[in-house]
Structure 1
Amino acid sequence: MLPASKKAESSEQCPLTIDSVAKHFGGITAVDGVSLSAGAGEVVGVIGPNGSGKSTLFSLAAGGQKPDSGSIRLSGVDVTGWPTWKIARAGISRTFQIPSLFINMTVRDNMLAAAVEGDWQGAQDRMTRTVEMLEISHVVDNLASELSGGQQKLVEFGRVCMRNPKVILLDEVTAGVHPNIRKIILGAIQQLRETGITFLVIEHDMEMVKEICDRLIVMDQGRIVAEGDFQTIANDINVQQAYLGRA
């Protein structure tokens, strides 16, 4: 596990605070009154079986969907219901399970496009530092369509970094990638968290979760059923029931 971050800040200082958020789709409750917070430089894992509400929670936090109730605050500012572009500019960025790149553009242009309405003056230097951190300098002039799946995930992660975010939401960023790419991603998270960036990470790779997360939040049927460090979660009866269905 990476070094633990400082104790979580107050709700006004905390980079991300989600309070009693709920989302319904017809008669289905996808997220049911979820509350959580994450401090500066903290890496929080969000785990749970498929259909437990993890990705919906990310979508609510990033503005892809509006919650039916509850609030989402970014460094004390209520961003509940803001459109995606406005939340992204405020400082919350996310990746997706399947990268969504401009496939007919080069890696370089994909990266720079992510910064087009931000700090454009420093974008070129930031792009250079980012591709070096992610070890993709050698493909920077390749089209995104020419990259492997793992390299595409690195580029999507890099595009998020180009936003200068306060909070990064990673949705299964290491799923199906080569061990070397997994190592690069873990190293990048380590570097970025040391600058104060907060991470929420959806991941099914328990070895990665154990290695990188300060604490875990377990969701099942739209609710948080357990929270704590890896060992506490591994021994929790609610987690065993959620994953294995045993009493």
Structure 2
Amino acid sequence: MIREDATIDAGELYDVAAALGMTDQQVRLCIKRLVAEGRFTHEGRGRKAVLRATADTRATIEPDLEYLRFAYAQDRGRERWDGIWHLAAFAVPETNRAARDAMREAIVYHGGAPIQGGLYVTPHAWEDRIRALAAKLGIDEQLTTLSTAELSIGGTTGGAELAARLWPLDQLAAGYERLRTAAEYTLAVLPAADPTRRLSLAITLAAEFDRAVSDDPLLPPELLPHPWTGVAARAAVAECWTALNAAAPSPIRLFRWYSEAVAEITARPSTR
């Protein structure tokens, strides 16, 4: 709900929160905590107040637009897989558990799937990011990276078969089905929605989108079932963001970020 001038109208916030099932007391407590944490400043009282995002908050609220652009570019055939698997292995002693856990979390965040203890694989080139993180954590000497066009795990060698073995594709597909349902519902009711309803729809859609993509490694189409429900779900969401941005009475950062990222990819000529 943060606008382009980094503010949130408190009255609008209370109305949207109510539409999403929150009480005024819950909102007041949330605002109090955010101000105490230094994430927002608070000007005025009650519903006439204005919340202003601090510099630290403005620097951290932007979604992962690189991930978003890559997802839509891949959906439209503008990112093609070269058939190369990228592997990373690390062995960090228990005495440096924090670095070990941070490395594992980052590898999984970047789409890596575990093969066996300390060994992960992805179809995407990730070496620069993984090495930079290892250096930052001080464990670069414990990191090994390699790439190969031939990968066999327990006798499984086919690309799609390997993907089905390594990543929870059924779980990912179920999440995208929920997302597509939410997006189609949003598109259906949006024309008649008032401003409060539009914002509540957008927040619900954003939450469903985050839930669907949080564990998605964005595998190349060659490794996924056909048709892949993620493509249809993301296309429906793209329509929603465009419609929401066009209907917004005042500029909302979230709408602009998503709609511009999608528009940027759509405007490029296809390589197919």
Structure 2 length-normalised TM: 0.22
**Which structure is higher in RCO with an 8 Å CA cutoff and minimum separation 6?**
1
Larger radius of gyration: 2
Higher helix share: 2
